[in-house]
Amino acid sequence: MTNFSSWRRGLAVGALFFGMACSTFAHDDSADDRGGSGSASPQVQAARAAVFKANPQLLQSIMLGGGFGSEMSYAIANSMYSRDDAKAIAEARAKLKIEAVAPRTWLLRFPIVNVIVLETDEGLVLIDSGYAPAGPVLAEVLPTLSSRPVHTIIFTHFHADHAFGAWALMAQKPQPPRIVAEERFITQMELDMRSWGLNARNNQQKLSDVPRDWRQAVRPTETFHRQATLRIGGEDFVLTHARGETEDQIWVAVPGRKIVASADYFQSFLPNAGNGKRRQRYPEEWAKALRDMAAQQPQLLLPAHGAAISNPAEIQDRLPAQARMLESIAQQVVDGLNSGLRKDQVFERVSLPADLAGRPDARELYVSARDIGRMVGSEYTGWWDDIPSHWRPAPLASEAAELAALAGGADRLIARALAIAPANPPLAAQLADWAWLADGDSLAVVQGALQVYAQRVAQPLPTQEALVYAEHMVRLQLKLLSLTGQWR
């Protein structure tokens, strides 16, 4: 039985920036009532509670990758762009762990994400600044670490958990810090601003918080192309661009301290290189960045998520291993495409090399190897999936209705889905989707689809996949409530 605090934690993870889920084929767009603000209504919250209570393994799957190697915060996860959410700021303050990882070097471990602070003779250098609620906490904490002002803030990429806390430091006297990013940071941020509604849905954020122009974000004061060396306080900070999680992502080497700040390139599980709800990611360039970091022979690896690694031998093991995982996936996809296989056949066959599959840092906690394979495929091919009729298909609703008619009705279709669900949950879920799309007002279809998806989530799943199923089950619960006046 899942208690109240457990499902609340599950909702927190579900709101994470890296993998928030909304149903990708919502039959009833009004079901997820956000009141125009992006915050879930009491009915939605109750529906989520019902889903997690009835499906404890679903909650466990979400929790496995949700913290991204760090502590979680429900308030922060839903308010990453907010500069005035009192609860989020309070949790950032209360849950911050300050780790002195080397002389004049600190890893500020906020919930979900880290900020790196390096003191130089000229002032403090920050690598990333966390989410917006971290800003006031940074302004409070930095003077306790050093009497020197913030000289430079380096943004590793434009994501909400990395580039939004700097706002609270820009009033520094006598002058604000300079903000440095790769030149693509600006265009990538502006794409998020242009698609603010999609950004809010994918990131489960309040519409009022999500940036629509630069007044709600911190624009770099200085950009560079590909690589730059910043000389600060007599020390070099080498900034290297490599497309990975984002188009603009960089990693930072501090040769004098034998430190590499690995941004989001390195994680303690299979890298998040296959997020199906985000823009294009670049697994092959990601792999090269990992190898280039290893070539620096760092004594200390400071990731953006999770704990520092201070054992050089461990660093030399883990960076190349994750690089090889990504390289192997990419090669399998390219070989499959070259061989003439359909794309679905290519991706279905993707797997990790046997000698790597059992490693802790190969765990499919957030995305799977097949998810990464699909991301590689989107680099090499267009949107067509190799099915002839899918070049210009009939409307999805029409297709679903026809399939249901062939089955003898949507109720017969959902009955078949229920029959095969114990043995083949993926296929059963696909049939349940057709039934739902054909007749989402049928009580038998709604109840049956909930049962089918309960089978689908009964086994451990990567967080991203579990979140998609969870949000669809919430929609089904809401529809069930509207049809019967009660939860399942």
pLDDT at position 33 over 60 = no
Q: Of 62-76, 289-303, 335-349, which range is least confident?
A: 62-76
Give the HSE-up count for residue 31: Cα atoms under 13 Å, Cβ half-sphere: 25
The set of residues, in sequence order, having a beta carbon less than 8 Å from that of 251 and lying 6+ positions away, is: 156, 239, 240, 242, 260, 261, 262, 263, 265, 289, 292, 293
pLDDT at position 28 over 90 = no
Other CB atoms within 10 Å distance of the CB of residue 339 = 9
Q: Of 2-11, 61-70, 198-207, 280-289, which range is least confident?
A: 2-11
Q: Rounded distance, CA 92 to CA 12, Å?
A: 14
pLDDT at position 22 over 70 = no
Helix, strand, coil shares, percent, the chain, to 5: 50, 15, 40
Q: What percent of the chain has pLDDT over 90?
A: 83
Q: Rounded distance, CA 170 to CA 272, Å?
A: 31
Domains in the chain, ordered, with CATH?
Answer: 4-73+394-484 (no CATH), 82-324 (3.60.15.30)
What order do you get walking across the sheet with 250-254 strand by strand? 227-232, 235-241, 250-254, 259-263, 300-303
pLDDT at position 57 over 60 = yes
Other CB atoms within 10 Å distance of the CB of residue 478 = 24
Other CB atoms within 10 Å distance of the CB of residue 44 = 21
Q: What is the mean pLDDT of residues 43-56?
A: 91
pLDDT at position 304 over 90 = yes
> 154, 124, 28, 139: which is closest to 93 by C-alpha?
139
Burial code (b: 16+ CB inside 10 Å, e: under 16) for 383-416 equals eeeeeeeeeeeeeeeeebbebbeebebbbebbbb
Give the HSE-up count for residue 474: Cα atoms under 13 Å, Cβ half-sphere: 30
pLDDT at position 344 over 90 = yes
pLDDT at position 2 over 80 = no
Supply the pTM of this predicted model: 0.90
Q: What is the mean pLDDT of residues 355-377?
A: 96
User: Which pLDDT does position 10 carry in this prediction?
Assistant: 40
Name the region of 194 (left: φ>0; alpha: ψ -120 to 50; beta: rest).
alpha
- pLDDT one-digit tens code per residue, 209-239: 999 999 999 999 999 999 999 999 999 999 9
For the chain, give the mean pLDDT: 91
pLDDT at position 15 over 60 = no
Q: What is the mean pLDDT of residues 57-63?
A: 87
- pLDDT one-digit tens code per residue, 82-112: 999 999 999 999 999 999 999 999 999 999 9
Other CB atoms within 10 Å distance of the CB of residue 275 = 18
The set of residues, in sequence order, having a beta carbon less than 8 Å from that of 242 and lying 6+ positions away, is: 249, 250, 251, 265, 282, 285, 286, 288, 289, 292
Confidence of residue 67 (pLDDT cuts 50, 70, 90): low
Q: What is the mean pLDDT of residues 153-158?
A: 98
- pLDDT one-digit tens code per residue, 459-468: 999 988 999 9
> 183, 144, 150: which is closest to 167 by C-alpha?
150
Q: Rounded distance, CA 137 to CA 123, Å?
A: 19
Q: Rounded distance, CA 354 to CA 76, Å?
A: 38
| 8 A C-beta contact, residue 223 and residue 241 | no
| 8 A C-beta contact, residue 323 and residue 175 | no
Q: Rounded distance, CA 45 to CA 52, Å?
A: 11
User: Which pLDDT does position 488 carry in this prediction?
Assistant: 63
User: Which pLDDT does position 76 carry in this prediction?
Assistant: 93
Q: What is the mean pLDDT of residues 177-189?
A: 98
Beta bridge partners of 150: 124
Q: Between the CA of residue 450 and those of 28, 311, 459, what are the distances in Å?
A: 15, 47, 15
Q: What is the mean pLDDT of residues 451-456?
A: 97
